[in-house]
Amino acid sequence: MTEGQHLQIILRLGDDALVLGQRLSAWCGHGPVLEEDIALSNTALDLIGQARNFYTLAAAREDQGRDEDQLAFFRTDKEFQNHLLLEQPNGHFGDTIVRQFFFSAFALERCAFLSRQLVDAEVAGIAAKAVKELQYHWEHAAQWIVRLGDGTTESHEKVQASIDHLWSYTGEFFNADEVDAAGAEAGLLPNLAVMRKAWNARVEACLAQATLTCPEDGWMQRGGKQGIHSEHLSYMLAEMQVLPRTYPDATW
């Protein structure tokens, strides 16, 4: 693992957390019930906090005079290396929950590994904090999957459609590129083939309980980790970045 790859791994962890955190924050004030509004906003807050920790670490390591804000607000869409699933629009509540369900199952497994590895103590520290938060996110999403899947005919049909639609974005989690391979080789990142088994077991058990069908793999989307995104990310970043880009010296 080169120094550049090591840095890229930390940035990717930050990008995943920031993009999903930004998406979820758009639910604030729009949740179907007050408790859900609070839950999704809390989840967003946790993720943005995790992103800040990873970006602050990445900025210190690259030592280019950038800080967390510059990494969040002054990089272009092609410089973001988050998984494509996370930038997908919020859609309806079921879409948001399915996105959260797929990601939390992955993030929880990944983060547990990161908190235990001995290659990078600072990453382990951030992960040890994050893993406790991700456990809550997973529980929350999994409980909703069961409630919606095993709920009314309408809720079942809608959430099954969300699952079928978003499934093609889950393959990317386990599609190791050079950076993933180097990270796994060095012991910083988990082996993605092993992760896939753990993820499948988690997801399938919950879907079965929810009386939902786990789709077959078909064409699986990829490219996010290489900076090739769906069009949705650019619009999201435009909204997220407009203020600091317009007034770069603004402080509050």
Partner 1 sequence: MVTVAQRIERVWTMVRTVHDPELPYLTVEEMGMVRGVTMRDNQIVVSLTPTYSGCPATDVISEDVENAVRSVEPEAQVEVVLSPAWTTDWILPSAYEKMREHGIAPPEGQSADRAFLTGQGKVIPCPFCKSKDTSMVSAFGSTACKALFKCNACLEPFEHFKCI
121 is a site residue for partner 1 (CB under 8 A): yes
Binding segment for partner 1 among 5-13, 47-55, 78-86, 95-103 (CB under 8 A)?
47-55
Out of 26, 112, 119, 124, point to the residue binding partner 1 (CB under 8 A).
124
Q: Residue 140 has which token pair? A: 């929350």
Is 145 or 192 the residue whose CB approaches partner 1 more closely? 145
Length of the chain: 252
Nearby residues of 176 by Cβ (< 8 Å), 6 or more positions away: 184, 192
117 is a site residue for partner 1 (CB under 8 A): no
Binding segment for partner 1 among 72-80, 117-125, 147-155, 157-165 (CB under 8 A)?
117-125
SS3 labels along the chain: CCHHHHHHHHHHHHHHHHHHHHHHHCCCCCCCCHHHHHHHHHHHHHHHHHHHHHHHHHHHHHCCCCCHHHHHHCCCHHHCCCCHHHHCCCCCHHHHHHHHHHHHHHHHHHHHHHHHCCCCHHHHHHHHHHHHHHHHHHHHHHHHHHHHHCCCHHHHHHHHHHHHHHHHHCHHHHCCCHHHHHHHHHCCCCCHHHHHHHHHHHHHHHHHHCCCCCCCCCCCCCCHHHCCCCHHHHHHHHHHHHHHHHCCCCCC
Out of 13, 18, 20, 39, point to the residue binding partner 1 (CB under 8 A).
39
Binding segment for partner 1 among 49-57, 156-164, 225-233, 238-246 (CB under 8 A)?
49-57
191 is a site residue for partner 1 (CB under 8 A): no
Out of 15, 87, 109, 133, point to the residue binding partner 1 (CB under 8 A).
133
220 is a site residue for partner 1 (CB under 8 A): no
135 is a site residue for partner 1 (CB under 8 A): yes
Binding segment for partner 1 among 7-15, 37-45, 175-183, 212-220 (CB under 8 A)?
37-45
Count of residues that bind partner 1 according to CB under 8 A: 30
The least CB distance from residue 131 to partner 1, in Å, is: 8
Is 139 or 239 the residue whose CB approaches partner 1 more closely? 139
26 is a site residue for partner 1 (CB under 8 A): no
Measured CA to CA, the distance from residue 16 to residue 123 in angstroms comes to 15
Residue 65 dihedral angles phi and psi, to the nearest 5°: 80, 5
Out of 26, 62, 70, 125, point to the residue binding partner 1 (CB under 8 A).
125
35 is a site residue for partner 1 (CB under 8 A): yes
Q: Which residues bind partner 1 (CB under 8 A)?
A: 21, 35-36, 38-39, 42-50, 52-53, 121-122, 124-126, 128-130, 132-133, 135-136, 139-140
